[in-house]
Structure 1
Amino acid sequence: MATTNNFGIALRGWRERRSPLTGELESGADRRIPGLRREELARLSGLSVDYVVRLEQGRARNPSAQVVGALSRALRLDAEERDHLFRCARLTPPATGDVPRQVPPRVHRLVRQLGDAPVAVYAADWTLLSWNRMWTAVIGDPRAYGWDQGSLVAGMFRSPGGHRVDAIAAWPVRSWAGDEAEEESLVADLRVTALAHPDDARLSLLVDRLLGTSPRFARLWSNGTAGLHTGDRKTVEHPLVGDLTLDLDVLTVPGSDLRIVVYAPATDLDDTDKLTALRTSPRLKPPAPSPLFKERVEGLNPPSHPES
């Protein structure tokens, strides 16, 4: 059965879209196509015209990473387009630099649209970046967590022994899957991020430090498991409403490399009533401004980062 020529289709589409008005190419009224000629793309990417033709026609189906990279630069593809072209060639997209730790406006809009649910935004290395008021009401003020540099992973593996004795919130939160399964899932997720951002010094230091201080982390890291952490079910031992069982879902936004964590009541209607009680409680107030905060975002509260 014939296979779809995904790489050739993408390459031709982007070639015909690419404007020649960039300084390195001549343009004129006699051009029959608005984009690049095959000869021009070959010259810009350092390839032969015949090879470009064979790639577009699907007669050459295994371009190297160097070839795909050269074509991406010649076509001036953005990061998402470049990664798509690599995947069309059945290659792993190139690793990027530092883990993004800025929350773009569109993510803030998405968080606001989620309404009254407890929501927090994490970087791909599980550094807590921002949270809403309901997060504080349900899980407690993150400034009370005691996480090193706002890192969930660092907080989870604070205890050097075989059992996690420290809560990862302002009050106890139990995972239905158990501490071991939750830790393994987060370490597997962190491994994916470490491979995608091998040059991030902060992430490398975190992994090295945990390998030296936490036998639990070192054991889980050594098993090689990799995969995204997508969710869990937790019971919050809340000081005001008692036990509150919630489903935790991890959402991702294309192009942001962020983790948006949302808590929702489990099937028990009692959990919905308890969440509503917390939402309407007069104790639900925005945290007071702190000199440790570098910024404030309307409706969201960034974690504390000591000034350097």
Structure 2
Amino acid sequence: MLGRMDREEMAGFLRSRRARVQPADVGLEAGLRRRTPGLRREEVARLAGMSVDYYIRLEQGRGPRPSRQILGAMARALRLTDDERAHLFNLAGEPPAPPPGPPQEVPAGILHLLQRLDDTPAYVLDAKYDVLAWNDMATALITDFSALEPRDRNPMRAHFLRPGPRSPHITDEDANQQFARLSVADLRAALGRYPDDPGVKALIAELTEGSELFRRLWANHQVAVRRSGTKKIKHPVVGEIEVHCDVLVVPERDQKVVLYTTAPGSRSHEALKLLRVVGTQDLAPR
């Protein structure tokens, strides 16, 4: 059975969400005799495939603990968002099922932000480190991502699987080591969020097979989310640039916006300004 507080909270939550959904939202005729907004209780019950009496008891705070199947059916019937669905499951004492995989669609607002940052290299990573979007300055500083196959736009693959020296454009070995350690810890955290995602599993298997360094770091079982740091990048046109790497999290998509900035007035800042003037370079793939 649900506790009294959880029953009352669930009842209020269901009533408020039912009032928000309009009949047209679920393919029903509105009719002429609706005195209150939203769906009727019997309509929600029918959409969820459950008895009207059971649903009424839930809305009155008298119902027993619903099963995961019933919770999922109510979430679909009431058109709940991902956050609302998780809240409903938590109220019922059922942890929500993990999402199917890392979201790939970058929010429009983030895409607009990238383009407005015309003096700052920036790109977007998903939870398994695939680069999903980038701006012109990222192309100029790092590589032309559009010329790469989607699977090759992954800095972890480039770092751990490329033959020869790792990340040749990054001259700071400490930064290379920090990236290796933090990215592996970040990927382990992603595995916890997406334990059944074939893309995450395939990346881990590929890195495990192809990199002794990855195998060693993976065996440490460290978990962390990548934040910020500094690195030195050797550019073929403007020379070495020391950048500060900031990571902004997009929580609703589980994505990261990576921005490279320089200290105002520094030689690196002037080099980055020159790079903006020079424009996109045809860099060798990294």
Amino acid at match of 1:20: P
- Structure 1 position 128, deviation (Å): 2.2
- Structure 1 position 135, deviation (Å): 1.8
Which is helix-richer, 1 or 2? Answer: 2
- Conserved 8 A contact 2:24-2:30: yes
- Where do 1:1-308 residues align within 5 Å? 7-21=10-24, 28-47=31-50, 52=55, 56=59, 64-86=67-89, 92-103=95-106, 105-141=108-144, 149-158=152-161, 165-167=165-167, 171-174=169-172, 178-266=175-263, 269-280=266-277, 282=278, 284-285=279-280, 287=282
Counterparts of 2:171 and 2:14 in 1: how far apart (Å)?
50
- Structure 1 position 112, deviation (Å): 1.1
**Distance change >3 Å, CA 102–CA 22, structure 1 → 2:** closer
- Structure 1 position 42, deviation (Å): 3.8
Amino acid at match of 2:129: W
Counterpart of 1:297? none
TM-score normalised by L of structure 2: 0.75
- Conserved 8 A contact 1:189-1:226: yes
- Structure 1 position 154, deviation (Å): 1.3
Q: Secondary structure at the match of 2:161?
A: coil
**1:56-89 alpha-carbon deviations (Å, 9 max, x no partner):** 5667797554342121012133445434544565
- Structure 1 position 247, deviation (Å): 1.6
Counting aligned pairs with the same residue, the percent is 36
- Conserved 8 A contact 2:111-2:133: no
- Structure 1 position 180, deviation (Å): 4.0
**1:160-202 alpha-carbon deviations (Å, 9 max, x no partner):** 9xxx9311xx6124375x4444323212322343344445433
Amino acid at match of 1:109: H
**Distance change >3 Å, CA 125–CA 94, structure 1 → 2:** same
Q: Gaps spanning 5+ residues in structure 2: where? A: none
Amino acid at match of 1:203: V
**Distance change >3 Å, CA 285–CA 90, structure 1 → 2:** same
Greater shift in the superposed pair: 10-19 or 232-241: 232-241
- Structure 1 position 118, deviation (Å): 0.5
**Distance change >3 Å, CA 285–CA 267, structure 1 → 2:** closer
Amino acid at match of 1:132: N
Q: Secondary structure at the match of 1:157?
A: helix
Counterpart of 1:300? none
Amino acid at match of 1:31: R
- Structure 1 position 117, deviation (Å): 0.3
Q: Gaps spanning 5+ residues in structure 1: where? A: 289-302
